[in-house]
Structure 1
Amino acid sequence: MVANGSASHRHHQVLIVGGGSGGITVAAQLLRARPGLDVAILEPATVHDYQSGWIPAGAGLLPLAFTHRPEASVIPPGACWIQDSAARFEPEAQRVITATGESISYQVLVVAMGLQLNWNHIQGLPEALGSHGIVSAYSRDHIIATWAAIRGFQGGIALFTHPATPIKCGGAPQKVMYLADDVFQATSGVGVNSHVIFCTAMAKLYPVEAYNTTVEQVVARRHIDARTLHNLIEVRASEQVAVFDVREPGVEPRREEIRFDLLHVVPPMAAPDVVAHSPLAIDGPGGWVEVNKDTCQHKRFADVFALGDVSSLPTSKSLAAIRGQAPVLVANLLAQLDQRPLLAHYDGYTACPLITSFHSVVMAEFNYELQPVSSFLVDPTKERWSMFLVETRVFPWVYWHRVLKGRLHESRFLKPFAPLVRALGLAFKQP
């Protein structure tokens, strides 16, 4: 059901702001748990993206058509789709004001708006993107051009960056780099004449030590020049120069300029401005919705919940995190409606399938304690062809047919699909 926003005021039991992965998953699980619940989804987009598929699709590992569908096709039956966007949150009055001026009141609010890509926080980048060898797989509009530039690279310095802020899919900057390096090595005369540099604003290549060890081995094997604590702040496109703010311990901050022939940029990210400037936001960098890390309930407004990238939940921002958060949020939201204690707890589970080549993936799964966990009963720190098949063949189907249908809350990953996984030749025993 679609609402066109013609009324000046409406009310819903549950209002979900955001029709991406988090919002649709929560709506589907709510309606499966309680058919007939009055659920509305506030979302302006007409296209729903499987963003986890952008890099595999750009690299030719997945048809690009598999990464998007009409938004109307993913709205759960029984939910009301309000095709508008949030312009102001007024949690004290239990209402949201939309961009068209409509007032929507609610009994419970779920914020699932994702995050905002701040291209303009890097001087010179917005006008340079797509020219002078400057590309990014983080833009839907530039995916094809990004991989065309990688395949057409003739050698020189290929520079890849990771910003100082939390980002969606924290391993993605490296995924692009490893796949690009494979392309360079497979292209006659290019690999031997290329110097790949990875500049990350982080103190190490991966936040979980066990996986960081694996990543360091991958970087060393590929002879990639990895530089930590390097934050991209400016691009001088016509000169093909990237400027970094370098802050190493015990050393005065400095600027470093690196010339490039190809530059893959990952922009700084934050909560959407409408959230960051609202009473819902945490007092600190990012502007995230301030929620309890265990229950997904807002710390100051009991009738507000949040999940996914827009939330302050202290874990990596990924689709896998949403799969862990959604059942907890749904259980606690229903308890809030019923005036019962909130007993469901989220343990910080998340995962990032880190593509390390055209035939291998590290299925990096971990929790709040930054300890590796495994849904597949294998050592998750190892590069595996089996996990490559899961990432490129299984997960896209699971996303469209299980996650968005609210049917993947009985287990974290693929336990219901063990026969399918085994059919792909995956090892479920410790090697």
Structure 2
Amino acid sequence: MFTASRVRLANQFKVRTFATQANKNFRVVVVGAGPGGLSVSSTLSELLGKDQVAVIEPSDKHYYQPLWTYVGGGLKDFNESVKPMGSVMPSEAEWIQDRVTKLDPDNNQVELSNGERVGYDYLVVAAGIQINWDQVKGLKEALGKDGVTSNYSVDSVKKTYPFIQDFKGGNAVFTFPNTPLKCPGAPTKITFLAEEAFRLNGVRDKTNVIYNTSLGKIFGVDHYGKVLQRLADERGIQMNFQTELIEIDAANKEATFRNNANQAITKQPYDFLHVAPPQGPPSFIKESKLADAAGWVDVNKETLRHNKYANVYALGDCSSLPTSKTAAAITGESGVLKTNLIADLKGEKIEAATYDGYTSCPLIVGRQQLILAEFSGYTGQPLETFPVDQRQISNVSQYINKEIIPSLYWGGLLNGTWTGPSKVRNALKCFRPANLA
């Protein structure tokens, strides 16, 4: 038998208990209780009822990670980004609080860390992305100490703003890895927020703000990237392209970078260092038959169905979908996946729902400034919701992203009712000026 997993809800004086039987089979097994996994399991468990949907998730906390840029920038409290996992887990789903170690699609089973197996009719993989701190030598040892931080860490994100406030001048260095990563705009956002903070704190004139990115430009979509680059130039942010962090010498406060164009190695002294760490597919996916050559779950980019195993779907960061890995992308992905999977469950033949690559990267460039980038990761073309030029800096967009979107996340995406802004976009389309169409 599985041992019962007991989760005490922080805001209630009671214990909810989740238990399963060994080798139990479910209509649907969902791996991961991030936004993708919860959106799908909430809808399907309500449709199918109790004992039909299992969610496998080891963590007892759920984090709204897009808020961590605001936490690192001193604009939000960390506690606003976290809730007990039991409080967001759908009541009709069965929560198996364990870790998946093996995927066995030939036998329609997943294996847990204790060696037990769970069977399924349909599998949804929403396991997120794996952060590989060890790929930068010295990073794990340096993180959270002496000005070295990362908004990608649950612990060090709380130290980012104190480090920024304590900064007295020198080299403030920011990095972007040579791998895919969740929220690829996040390294740029904290660069702009820190630069503004240095100005407000009166130390900007004795500060070098340096952004070292492995990419060939500041942002992948030129429609917004050109605006972002202009702002970086205006604010004196030094951009070094194709430049990858490979080592941190914390004792000497020195970072080593490799230029991926010519392989030249340079050493950069730092007084403040924000690291976006290398990331990749979770190991248990990479080692499975579900993986493509790069290690991601190999799914059709339109239907989100696996390209070999018809009863397997995936969404979010762990999938092979060639779009930005963001929570906004998951909204659109979840709607498409659920439409197609529900048809499977009902035995209905439908014209498959298709995902257009929609994603959003709200580019924070100041405490009250934001460029609301919305686009298709498939085409690189804008998919903007509002009938205005969203390349323009807006404090209204900042308010929406900072105060309204989190409510949509907690109260809409996680319970399966929010599947992206496409309906809003279509409703406002008639108000969009012809030159922005």
Q: TM-score range by the shorter chain?
A: over 0.9
Q: Secondary structure at the match of 1:305?
A: strand
Q: List aligned pairs for 1:10-25, cutoff 5 A.
A: 10-25=24-39
For 2:272, the equivalent position in structure 1 comes to 262
Q: Secondary structure at the match of 1:386?
A: helix
Question: Structure 2 counterpart of 1:320, which letter?
Answer: A
For 1:424, the equivalent position in structure 2 comes to none
Say if 1:2 and 1:80, in contact at 8 Å, map to a contact too.
no
Aligned-pair identity in percent equals 37
Q: Secondary structure at the match of 2:24?
A: strand
Deviations 1:214-259 (A, max 9, x none): 11011011110001100111111112111111023xxx32112111
Structure 2 distance, partners of 1:417, 1:400, is 24
Q: Secondary structure at the match of 1:363?
A: strand
Picking from 368, 371, 387, the partner of 1:359 is 368
CA RMSD of aligned residues (A): 2.0
Deviation of residue 429 (structure 1)? 6.8
Question: Structure 2 counterpart of 1:353, which letter?
Answer: P
For 1:296, the equivalent position in structure 2 comes to 304
For 2:413, the equivalent position in structure 1 comes to 403
Structure 2 distance, partners of 1:322, 1:304, is 17
Say if 1:114 and 1:308, in contact at 8 Å, map to a contact too.
yes
Picking from 201, 222, 225, the partner of 1:209 is 222
Question: Structure 1 counterpart of 2:208, which letter?
Answer: H
Structure 1 distance, partners of 2:109, 2:18, is 17
Q: Secondary structure at the match of 1:92?
A: coil
Deviation of residue 131 (structure 1)? 2.1
Give TM-score scaled by structure 1 length. 0.92
Say if 2:60 and 2:85, in contact at 8 Å, map to a contact too.
yes
Q: Secondary structure at the match of 2:106?
A: helix
Q: List aligned pairs for 1:6-405, cutoff 5 A.
A: 7-32=21-46, 38-188=52-202, 190-248=203-261, 252-284=262-294, 287-339=295-347, 340-341=349-350, 343-367=352-376, 368-405=378-415
Question: Structure 1 counterpart of 2:44, which letter?
Answer: L
Deviation of residue 32 (structure 1)? 4.8
Say if 1:2 and 1:83, in contact at 8 Å, map to a contact too.
no
Structure 2 distance, partners of 1:32, 1:327, is 15
Structure 2 distance, partners of 1:289, 1:392, is 31
Structure 1 distance, partners of 2:99, 2:337, is 22
Question: Structure 1 counterpart of 2:290, which letter?
Answer: L
Say if 2:50 and 2:93, in contact at 8 Å, map to a contact too.
no
Structure 2 distance, partners of 1:10, 1:412, is 38
Say if 2:177 and 2:213, in contact at 8 Å, map to a contact too.
yes
Deviation of residue 34 (structure 1)? 5.3
Structure 1 distance, partners of 2:85, 2:191, is 31
Q: Secondary structure at the match of 1:141?
A: coil
Say if 2:26 and 2:51, in contact at 8 Å, map to a contact too.
no
Structure 1 distance, partners of 2:409, 2:424, is 11
Structure 2 distance, partners of 1:41, 1:2, is 14
Say if 1:295 and 1:328, in contact at 8 Å, map to a contact too.
yes
Say if 2:323 and 2:357, in contact at 8 Å, map to a contact too.
yes
Deviation of residue 289 (structure 1)? 0.6
Structure 2 distance, partners of 1:2, 1:399, is 25
Say if 1:335 and 1:342, in contact at 8 Å, map to a contact too.
no
Deviations 1:373-395 (A, max 9, x none): 21122212121111000111101
Tell me, which stretches of 5 or more residues in structure 1 are unaligned? Answer: 419-427
Deviations 1:345-400 (A, max 9, x none): 00000001110000111111111100012112221212111100011110111111
Shift in alpha-carbon separation, 1:415–1:30, aligned structure 2, 3 A: farther
Structure 2 distance, partners of 1:233, 1:184, is 26
